[in-house]
Amino acid sequence: MSPAHEPLRLVRALIALEILLAIGAYGGAFGLILSYWRPDAFLSADELAGTPFSSWLIPGVLLALLNGVLPTVVAVGAMMEKGWARWGHPLVGLVLTAWIVVQIALIGYGHILQPIYLAWGVVMLVLGLVAARR
């Protein structure tokens, strides 16, 4: 592929990463929010001891908004070729990276997905910055 097509490939990859992230975030948020109404379903509120949260409702809503809605909006904006979307890509990576860092700080390391999503966020941040500068 010619160098002229490289930015397009990069943006398409970022859009794919954002869509996959959003799908996972919506699923995770659903599980967390469901745990609010059915504490025996997935997670106990006891796991939130030492955090600012007394239930999984607020973390679920935040997960949906920050790692579901934000990447969805940026991906759609990029598909519609909106100029602001070029800086949305690294923002999504930064938000995901921060989410995982804060999550580990609050509840500790406890799942294989944490380092995977941390790497995912860093990759999106770096690729997003590269794409935004082009």
Q: Where are the domains of the chain?
A: 3-133
Rounded to the nearest 5 degrees, what angle is found at the Cα of 20, between the Cα atoms of 17 and 24?
Answer: 135
Residue 1: pLDDT band (50, 70, 90) is very low
Question: Considering the chain, what percentage of its residues have pLDDT values greater than 70?
Answer: 90
Rounded mean pLDDT, 119-128: 97
51-76 per-residue burial string, b: 16 or more CB within 10 A, e: under 16: eebebbbbbbebbbebbbebbbbbbe
Q: What is the mean pLDDT of residues 59-86?
A: 96
26 pLDDT more than 90: yes
Q: Is the pLDDT of residue 6 over 80?
A: no
| DSSP H stretches of helix in the chain | 6-37, 57-64, 70-79, 85-107, 113-133
